[in-house]
Structure 1
Amino acid sequence: MTSVCRCVKSKLHSFHIRTAYSASVGSLHIQNIQKRYSTIPERYTDKLLQKARERGFKSVEELKFHLKKEIESKKKEFNKIDPLKELEDYEQRMKMCENKGKMTNTRGPIDSSAPQLPFKTLNSFLNVEKMKQLSKQEVEFLWRARWMEKDNMLNAVVPVDVFNKMSSNAKSNPILVLPLPRDIQAANTEGQGEQGIEMHYIQWQFVGPKTVHCIMTSLAEYKLHKGFARPHTTFQFHLDLAEEKKIVLMNGQVETDANISLQEAQLLLLNVQRFYGAMGDHTTMAKARLKILKDFNTGSSDFNVDLLISLSQSMET
């Protein structure tokens, strides 16, 4: 028994010795690896510095800082959404494509080969120099009288400070999509009318130093023809008398073959004013409209179609 115990002890002792030896060899191996890998940055320092200088940076730290900002910028880019795709998804969700009824007519694209006519200035309608000699009230009277007998025409006299608010927001956010209530008939019903929504694409164009356009096209037509889509309504803002009279003269035309009424064009114009800050930007609703305008133009993930429609339909300013 004693000899057995000695034998077991001897084996245990040998085991412990081998384990301890193996552990010390493992530690040494790990230390060697760590030492080798810790020298990698030093080996590549010269190459990194050369790359930094090629890109105009003085040090590797500057390059790292720049790359960090570049990565953050790329992440924001990847997180952007396509607002028009969001609207398309909304239309599919509401099954607008299956509806038949009073929708805006699509009229084919603009002929890209046709010569482009010059835009009309205020002088096309009134003698600007003569208008400058009149009072503000006389100018307003003559401007409204100019359009009194015209069909499918809208006109307004806009205070210059109100227009400047809209213009400032339009320059940084030149596009928007607005809903228009429509009486529709669903394909799976038998003559039963329903209330639906048709989306319209709004675009601002600063065509001249004294002339600004706001054009409206159905979203369906815009998706078909993009930059060659025919607008159903065009609003022209004339700034010729902005300094002398503190007013901006506006005239708008609704195309007769577009299936859009003057009242519907007015409703769209009303929402243009509200979303572009013409009625102020201090209330909660005004701030919400300006935010969704910016979200739409920047492709922010905060853009929400249902919220856009809700803000359009709300009577709160």
Structure 2
Amino acid sequence: MWRLRSIARANIHICNQFLPVSNKSIGTLSVFRFYSSSLEERYKEKLLQEAQKQGFNSIEQLKDHLKEDLESRKRKFNNIDPLKELEDYQQRTQMANNNSKNMMTKSKSPLDPNAPKVPFKTLDSFLDLTKIKDLSKQEVEFLWRARWAEKDNTLCAVIPVAIYDRMMANAKNNPIFVLPLPRQTVSEDGKSTEEQGMELHYIQWQFVGPQTTHCMMTSLAEYKLHQEFARPHTTFQFHSDLVKDKGVVCMNGQVEPDTNVNVQDAQLLLLNVQRFYGAMGEETPAAKQRVQLLRDFSKGSPQFSVEKLISLSQSMET
């Protein structure tokens, strides 16, 4: 399996040398403090007026406020735009593969903003809830899987509520993410090569109803082209109607035709959705790193790295 190799950075140890402090330097420090105190005393009345003008009772309160404001501005300036980071990564990979082409997801026409909205489907659209309320959990799972067995380009699952709750807790706080999908590189003569590239996909959660949640997947290139009107290539629906009675959540997914995304691709993306959204828990070092990377992306933290995202998505560690 292809994976990025990380280059270990050599640790640089800096030895600090202690310089003797002369009496002259101490005297200079005392003079500096004297002038600082004198300046504060001189403008104390004006500082107090400014503090009261801004609604504070003392100069110390004004200082604390200004300190918090400065720290807030520093945090803001240290933030990164995660989509800009992804764009930079795509530009780097495109330059590296300028002599070949990748089997990327085909772009589709955008959604029509004027089209009437179709009501979302609930679990009752697929199963008669009044008829299954007396069935066991195993019987409900059998019926749910049978409901999708003969349909093309679909996926389904029955999820224990504990796993679903862990995933939803992170989804509500981090409704947008990106995941990589391995893509085989094709040479100019149309023949497949042994090299493997990565295509980034935009993951978006929508909480459309009290018991219905959607997870939509779109290639990042498609999203950048059409923004909110980008057409998803895969949509997963989670139905929590049976949580109280059966302790399970029913999931079904649909992969759109006429794209380069197949059911196996959707399964791989869904697997990493579970792993990065903490469905398997956060006890192991790898699991903690995945969830932390998700949070770093949402916060725009400089700690977010596309290379690390790819490495963790391909790692076999759970």
Return the TM-score normalized by structure 2: 0.83
Partner of 2:155: 154
* Alignment partner of 1:112 is 2:142: no
Summarize deviations over 1:201-247 as a string: whole Å, max 9, x none. Answer: 11111111111111100010011111111110000001111111110
Measure, in 1, the Cα distance between the counterparts of 2:120 and 2:56: 49
Partner of 1:93: 92
Summarize deviations over 1:29-72 as a string: whole Å, max 9, x none. Answer: xx9xx88x966544544443343334332222112101101111
Measure, in 2, the Cα distance between the counterparts of 1:282 and 1:134: 35
Structure 2 residue matching 1:109: 3-state secondary structure: coil
Structure 2 residue matching 1:258: 3-state secondary structure: coil
Summarize deviations over 1:176-221 as a string: whole Å, max 9, x none. Answer: 111101112245x773523211111111111111111111000100
- 1:10-89 mapped onto 2 (5 Å cutoff): 40-42=39-41, 44-89=43-88
**Root-mean-square deviation (Å):** 2.1
2:83 is matched by which residue type in structure 1? L
Measure, in 1, the Cα distance between the counterparts of 2:54 and 2:241: 48
2:70 is matched by which residue type in structure 1? I
Bigger shift: residues 37-46 or 269-278:
37-46
Structure 1 residue matching 2:235: 3-state secondary structure: strand
Structure 1 residue matching 2:116: 3-state secondary structure: coil
- 1:241-252 mapped onto 2 (5 Å cutoff): 241-252=242-253
Measure, in 1, the Cα distance between the counterparts of 2:107 and 2:54: 51
1:62 is matched by which residue type in structure 2? Q
Contact in 1 for aligned 2:79/2:302 (Cα 8 Å): yes
Partner of 1:215: 216
2:312 is matched by which residue type in structure 1? L
Measure, in 2, the Cα distance between the counterparts of 1:308 and 1:301: 13
* Alignment partner of 1:224 is 2:225: yes
Bigger shift: residues 254-263 or 100-109:
100-109
Runs of 4+ in 1 over 6 A off after TM superposition: none
Partner of 2:278: 277
- 1:105-184 mapped onto 2 (5 Å cutoff): 105-184=106-185
Contact in 1 for aligned 2:184/2:192 (Cα 8 Å): no
Bigger shift: residues 128-137 or 260-269:
128-137
Structure 1: give runs of 5+ residues left out of the alignment.
1-30
Larger Rg, first or second structure (1 or 2): 1
Measure, in 1, the Cα distance between the counterparts of 2:213 and 2:51: 46
Bigger shift: residues 37-46 or 281-290:
37-46
Decide whether aligned partners of structure 1 residues 127 and 47 sit closer, same or farther in structure 2, where only a CA change above 3 A counts: farther
Decide whether aligned partners of structure 1 residues 40 and 110 sit closer, same or farther in structure 2, where only a CA change above 3 A counts: same
Contact in 1 for aligned 2:157/2:250 (Cα 8 Å): yes
Partner of 1:299: 300
Give the drift of 1:84.
Answer: 1.6
Structure 1 residue matching 2:69: 3-state secondary structure: helix
2:123 is matched by which residue type in structure 1? L
Higher normalized helix content (fraction of residues): 1
Q: Percent identity?
A: 63
1:53 is matched by which residue type in structure 2? Q
Decide whether aligned partners of structure 1 residues 110 and 65 sit closer, same or farther in structure 2, where only a CA change above 3 A counts: same
Measure, in 2, the Cα distance between the counterparts of 1:221 and 1:279: 30
Contact in 1 for aligned 2:47/2:59 (Cα 8 Å): yes
Measure, in 1, the Cα distance between the counterparts of 2:43 and 2:241: 64
Contact in 1 for aligned 2:102/2:197 (Cα 8 Å): no
Give the drift of 1:166.
Answer: 0.4
Summarize deviations over 1:247-304 as a string: whole Å, max 9, x none. Answer: 0000000000222100000000000001111111100110111111111111111111
1:120 is matched by which residue type in structure 2? K
Measure, in 1, the Cα distance between the counterparts of 2:118 and 2:66: 48
Structure 2: give runs of 5+ residues left out of the alignment.
1-30
1:238 is matched by which residue type in structure 2? H
Measure, in 2, the Cα distance between the counterparts of 1:47 and 1:192: 75
Partner of 1:16: none
Give the drift of 1:168.
Answer: 0.4
Structure 2 residue matching 1:67: 3-state secondary structure: helix
Partner of 1:185: 186
2:191 is matched by which residue type in structure 1? G
Partner of 1:9: none
